[in-house]
């Protein structure tokens, strides 16, 4: 897509700090890192969300994510790493090209990505049943 910043990076019209590239995947440092070494991994083909990418392409991305995550973790000497992937604006997706964040984590870095408490009365049993029904319906 012509207006997609990641597609422009892939084409080379916008520079990036490239870490990895093959014929189907590219990886580069995030321009606004949450921590040192914050890396993005994305398919070269444009898919807006996780729900749009074909299974075979997703497998290729997942393999690259694992390989690059190992390198990021080793290079940063971080004791942990978050894998984050947002879908749609309500979930914080800013660039509508599927991408995976590899975020090195350090003790006491004060970066908060996960919910911190249980919310009683949120219909846990009902949503559990609905998700299980969806999984059965889709095989």
pLDDT in tens, the chain (139 residues): 779 999 999 999 999 999 999 999 999 999 999 999 999 999 999 999 999 999 999 999 999 999 999 999 999 999 999 999 999 999 999 999 999 999 999 999 988 875 555 656 667 678 778 888 888 898 7
One DSSP character per residue, 20-42 reads: EE-SSEEEEE-SS-SSTT-EEEE
CA distance 111 to 90: 20
Query: Which CATH number among 1.20.1080.10, 3.40.120.10, 3.30.428.10, 3.40.50.1980 corresponds to the domain 5-138?
Result: 3.30.428.10
Residue with tokens 């984050």: 84
CB atoms within 10 A of CB 62: 14
CA distance 20 to 68: 8
Q: Is 38 a catalytic residue?
A: no
Given 99, 107, 119, 124, which residue is catalytic?
A: 99
Whole-prediction pTM: 0.89
């Amino acid at each position: 897509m012509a207006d997609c910043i990641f597609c422009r990076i892939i084409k080379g019209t916008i520079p990036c700090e490239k870490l990895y590239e093959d014929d189907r995947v590219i990886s580069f440092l995030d321009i606004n890192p949450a921590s040192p070494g914050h890396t993005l991994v994305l398919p070269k083909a444009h898919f807006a969300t996780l729900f749009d990418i074909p299974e075979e392409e997703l497998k290729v991305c997942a393999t690259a994510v694992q390989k690059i995550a190992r390198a990021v973790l080793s290079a940063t000497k971080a004791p942990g790493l978050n894998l984050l992937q947002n879908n749609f604006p309500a979930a914080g997706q800013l660039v509508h090209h599927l991408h995976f964040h590899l975020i090195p984590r350090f003790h006491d870095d004060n970066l908060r990505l996960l919910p911190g408490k249980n919310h009683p009365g949120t219909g846990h049993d009902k949503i559990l049943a609905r998700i299980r029904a969806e999984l059965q319906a889709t095989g």
